[in-house]
Structure 1
Amino acid sequence: MNGDGSVLPASMTRAVDAIRGSAATLDVVVLAGSAPASGSRTPECDTVMTLKGVNSCTTWTLTTAADGNDSRVNTDIRKAEFVYFAGGDQCRYTAWKGTALEASVESVVAKGGGSGGGSAGHHVNGSIVYDACRGSVTSREALADPYDPYITFTTDMFTWPNYAGVINDSHFVTRDRMGRTMAFVARALKDGLTPGGAAWGVGVEEGGGSLFVDRNGLATEYGKDAYVVLGDHAPEQADPGKPLTFSNYKIWRLGPGATFDFKNRPVCGYYRRSVTNGVADARLYSGAPETNCGSPNGSSLNESEPNDSRGTADDATVLERSVDDGAGTDESLALTRTASGTGAYCIDMEAYSGSGTAAYSCGITKN
């Protein structure tokens, strides 16, 4: 997934090699919503065809939603092992939701192939797509009103394994898009677009930035920086016509060669930034990583005694969280123990600010 429309040979070569395995070659299909304004009519294929292990590369330029049901297009996609969405207009791509094309691309991944793209093509590979169908929004505008009319989403067009709950963004640092990604994350949480009370933004820088995610969910950054932005609690203020307030986003900065495990998402190594009344903290793109974050799920925890009460307990990781935030909406979570033996679990229940004083009950079931 690239920060601009260009194919990065290093990450694309890795994708080709990972998919083809011991096979000699594979086939690639490029999907574009419009033809390039100048230069080659097939710039992505021009690069792809220079790579070892590629048998063919076919570009389809589709300009209407109905093109997603073209039988020739879908035949080519289903025969391919990799589908690349070109840069352009992600609103044209989300118009293919529900067409045969959506199912065809999913079939490529299901058989062990891959999907990716650059710029708009990066956007469309997230489970929540900022589709820009009403126009593009800046960080300043999004933070001033996270319900700005230009902020529209298409959900669940593609939800790839290990990559759920993610909103992608591109041209990230150059066009100063951290602020709007923060707003997108807040909206996803407030509108209940992601499960488990957490939403993730993934921004990749232009000019050679590329994030390769393998079949096990392990991501490796190439070329330029990428950023992973986590919102893991309800925003303090995210309402139409009001500036955003959201404390303590957790942000991972991934330099070239850095990795991020999307299957077992890290609980440490981030820095924190907040937004208050529409104004984001300074230095959004760098910070000292926190290292004292507790122990990741499944790892060992160095105990100190006494630790048998909440006040004296050792700092550990939040294992599950539910933040549905809706009148009359039940919260629920499930936890499967990963180790035998004795141990205590703490459940923290809090009323959302402004929710009133209504009575509630809590039930726990052991399976």
Structure 2
Amino acid sequence: MSESQTKRQLVIIGGAEDKEGDCQILREFVRRAGGTKARIVIMTAATELPREVGENYIRVFERLGAEDVRIVDTETREDGSSSTALEAINKATGVFFTGGDQARITSILKDTEIDAAIHKRFSEGVVIGGTSAGAAVMPDVMIVEGDSETNPRIEIVDMGPGLGFLPGVVIDQHFSQRGRLGRLISALAQQPAVLGFGIDENTAMVVTDNQIEVIGEGSVTIVDESEVIHNNVDEILKDEALAICGARLHILPHGYKFDLKTHRPILNGQSLPLQPANTQ
């Protein structure tokens, strides 16, 4: 299968996903990674407890039937060229980034041999998953840190380079649980990107090429700034309030989809109109 025919799949999780019950989201990751033939690599760069966190995911993925599950622990950039890690990644059908601190992931892995190997495998059809910090790194520019439960202002969020699996968007996690709408809007206002995704806990957006499907118990909040008619970003100081006019807001629960090209929500296979029907 050529690269143009290969499906590029991401399972981007808002954090705190179920690991004890039905494990709907992690089950979907394993299924897409090959089911009982899945060979999964767990990337623990984000966490300061790599063994504990990694072994927890090993238990879950093995219980769900994955054929082979192993940890790739990278504590320093020197580990980014580990031959053992590269061999595991080259044999993997799924690569999963754990939670922790997203800045640790990029500072240790970005532009290393491991980073290049994972991107190559992604282009070949390997499923990439990530939860919490592992979700934050999916865009090319990510939220490094920022304040929750506040109104949008430039100063409340710091941005930095991500890993670029889903470029041109902004992603935030633990979204409704930590009141991060202001943070997402503040991040989006600073970027060329026009789509922002806020993912609730125990919820995931599953990306297949240019389409997203929402699974889990919460929702994915989408802020679409592609048709914004006004903002004051160029007129304010960093501690002053942002104004944004004309943005679209979508809140999509389990089963809804979204087209990244047309920016339209999808329900039951049908794209939903972005304007109300003319009732006159």
**TM-score (norm: length of structure 1):** 0.62
1:1-367 equivalence runs, <5 A? 1-6=12-17, 9-20=23-34, 25-33=37-45, 34-36=47-49, 42-52=55-65, 54-95=66-107, 96-132=109-145, 136-140=146-150, 143=152, 145-148=153-156, 150-155=157-162, 157-160=163-166, 164-188=167-191, 193-194=192-193, 199-206=194-201, 208-215=202-209, 217-232=211-226, 233=228, 235-238=230-233, 239-241=236-238, 242-266=240-264, 293=275
CA distance in 2, matches of 1:5, 1:203: 14
Q: Which runs of 5+ in 1 are unaligned?
A: 270-289, 296-301, 303-367
CA distance in 2, matches of 1:151, 1:35: 22
CA distance in 2, matches of 1:15, 1:37: 20
Distance apart, 1:98 and its partner CA: 0.9
CA distance in 2, matches of 1:7, 1:184: 28
Q: Which has the larger radius of gyration?
A: 1
Distance 1:166 1:73, change over 3 A: same
CA distance in 2, matches of 1:79, 1:240: 50
8 A Cα contact 2:33 2:39, kept in partner: no
Task: Name the structure 2 match of 1:338.
Answer: none
CA distance in 2, matches of 1:222, 1:40: 22
CA distance in 1, matches of 2:245, 2:101: 32
CA distance in 2, matches of 1:171, 1:32: 19
Task: Name the structure 2 match of 1:340.
Answer: none
Deviates more, 1:36-45 or 1:99-108: 36-45
Distance apart, 1:40 and its partner CA: 6.0
SS at match of 1:260: strand
Letter in 1 for 2:249: I
Letter in 2 for 1:2: I
Distance 1:106 1:265, change over 3 A: same
Query: Could you say which structure has the higher strand fraction?
Result: 2
CA distance in 2, matches of 1:35, 1:11: 24
CA distance in 2, matches of 1:235, 1:292: 19
CA distance in 2, matches of 1:38, 1:159: 25
Distance apart, 1:62 and its partner CA: 2.1
CA distance in 2, matches of 1:38, 1:80: 19
Distance 1:40 1:111, change over 3 A: closer
CA distance in 2, matches of 1:92, 1:101: 15
8 A Cα contact 1:221 1:259, kept in partner: no
Distance 1:105 1:68, change over 3 A: same
8 A Cα contact 2:95 2:129, kept in partner: yes
Distance apart, 1:39 and its partner CA: 6.0
Letter in 2 for 1:151: D
Q: Which runs of 5+ in 2 are unaligned?
A: 1-11
CA distance in 2, matches of 1:137, 1:90: 15
**TM-score (norm: length of structure 2):** 0.79
Larger relative contact order (Cα-Cα within 8 Å, sequence gap ≥ 6): 2
Distance 1:7 1:127, change over 3 A: farther
Distance 1:15 1:40, change over 3 A: closer
1:185-243 alpha-carbon deviations (Å, 9 max, x no partner) = 1111xxxx33xxxx11111111x212222245242322211111111237521244232
8 A Cα contact 1:236 1:245, kept in partner: yes
SS at match of 1:293: coil
Distance apart, 1:5 and its partner CA: 4.8
CA distance in 2, matches of 1:245, 1:92: 32
Task: Name the structure 2 match of 1:299.
Answer: none
1:313-361 alpha-carbon deviations (Å, 9 max, x no partner) = xxxxxxxxxxxxxxxxxxxxxxxxxxxxxxxxxxxxxxxxxxxxxxxxx
